[in-house]
């Protein structure tokens, strides 16, 4: 059975697409069958961020009833499967977000995790991903405006029957993790499942169209993201290496064999 997570926020630019891509890639690298889907059908940033802007079939065609979801799945970094959205305005206008629920049913047997990158705001295409997810994850920046917007999104998610699993505080700065978490939990009434630091490697990796967890795996943001992914998958990871133990052993074995 697939577990569906929707990454949401009140306002744009908090890091939903970045989290969807990097948590998805991490889960795939942990050996989980994972698909990331761009339900931000107006902006369609996810495919762009991975260099998939030229593909023939996207979620637009699927939500317009013109193609099967299976034709819109592409191989992404680290073995993550990717369902991009199209970049044409016409494709967006022809898409019916209500069809997302049916699309999910077709993916159920093939995946462990489906991560949905939701649009910001409270439009119809934004509400459906909140309602159909098993868990909604709010992506928040440590600023008042972002927190207030996340609050609205949480209420909206609950109104449409969604369940908020927790909050990722992205672009966290020098304030201590404990202080930030405490504040967020108090205001939002939701658990903080991870803090991802402000990290210039995130933008560097994005301009190379490669997830930061692959391009700069030891950077602060990558370590934090892998920890969140492991938490979502219920995997214990090696404390120092921030990798699942089996992966470390496999890598060690490879290095060892290579040297002989
Ligand atoms: P959203 O999908 O919520 O609109 P994005 O994931 O596109 O947000 O992120 C917005 C911008 O912030 C991007 O340029 C991204 O590279 C940058 N960004 C996201 N997370 C971080 C971070 N932890 N540190 C530095 N820059 C970040
Ligand atoms: Mg986005």
pLDDT tops 90 at residue 136: yes
Please write the tens of the pLDDT for every residue from 210-223. 999 999 999 999 99
- pLDDT value of residue 250: 61
Taking the CA of residue 206 as reference, the ligand 1 atom at the shortest distance is 16
Domain that holds residue 220: 3-258
pLDDT tops 80 at residue 174: no
Taking the CA of residue 205 as reference, the ligand 1 atom at the shortest distance is 16
Residues with CB under 5 A from ligand 2 (ion): 16-17, 45
CATH assignment of the domain containing 234: 3.40.50.300
- pLDDT value of residue 173: 86
Residue 244: HSE in the Cβ half-sphere, 13 Å Cα cutoff? 17
Please write the tens of the pLDDT for every residue from 79-118. 999 999 987 777 778 888 788 888 888 888 889 999 999 9
The torsion of the CA quartet 134, 84, 16, 221, rounded to 10 degrees, works out to: 110
Among 18-22, 175-179, 248-252, whose mean pLDDT is lowest? 248-252
Q: For residue 28, count CB atoms less than 10 angstroms from its CB and return exposed for 0-12, middle for 13-18, buried for 19 or more.
A: buried
Nearest-CA residue for ligand 1 atom 5 is 15
Is the separation of the CB atoms in 101 and 129 below 8 Å?
Answer: no
Q: 225: closest CA among 29, 2, 77, 3?
A: 29
pLDDT tops 80 at residue 260: no
- Confidence band for 123, pLDDT divided at 50, 70 and 90: confident
Give CA–CA dist 19/225, Å, rounded. 8
How far, in Å, from the CA of 171 to the mean position of ligand 1?
8
Number of separate domains in the chain: 1
CB-based pocket (< 6 A), ligand 1: 9, 12-18, 45, 170-171, 196, 198-199, 202-203, 206, 221
Give CA–CA dist 228/253, Å, rounded. 26
- pLDDT value of residue 247: 59
How far, in Å, from the CA of 257 to the mean position of ligand 1?
39
Nearest-CA residue for ligand 1 atom 16 is 203
């Amino acid at each position: 059975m697939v577990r569906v997570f929707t990454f949401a926020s009140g306002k744009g630019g908090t890091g939903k697409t970045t989290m969807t891509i990097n948590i998805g890639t991490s889960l795939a690298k942990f050996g989980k069958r994972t698909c990331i889907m761009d339900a931000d059908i107006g902006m369609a940033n996810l495919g762009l961020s991975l260099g998939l802007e030229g593909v023939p079939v996207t979620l637009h065609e699927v939500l317009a009833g013109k193609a099967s979801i299976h034709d819109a799945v592409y191989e992404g970094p680290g073995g993550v499967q990717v369902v991009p959205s199209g970049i044409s305005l016409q494709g967006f206008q022809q898409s019916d977000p209500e069809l997302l629920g049916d699309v999910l049913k077709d993916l159920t047997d093939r995946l462990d995790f489906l991560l949905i990158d939701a649009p910001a705001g409270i439009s119809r295409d934004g509400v459906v991903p909140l309602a159909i997810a098993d868990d909604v994850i709010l992506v928040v920046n440590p600023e008042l405006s972002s927190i207030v917007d996340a609050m609205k999104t949480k209420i909206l998610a609950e109104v449409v029957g969604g369940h908020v699993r927790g909050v990722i505080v992205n672009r966290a700065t020098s304030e201590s993790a404990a202080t930030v978490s405490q504040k967020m939990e108090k205001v939002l009434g939701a658990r903080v499942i991870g803090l991802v630091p402000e990290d210039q490697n995130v933008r560097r990796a994005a301009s190379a169209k490669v997830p930061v967890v692959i391009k700069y795996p030891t950077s602060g943001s990558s370590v934090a993201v892998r920890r969140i992914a492991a938490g979502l998958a219920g995997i214990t990871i090696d404390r120092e290496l921030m990798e699942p133990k089996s992966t470390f052993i496999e890598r060690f074995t490879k290095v060892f064999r290579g040297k002989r």
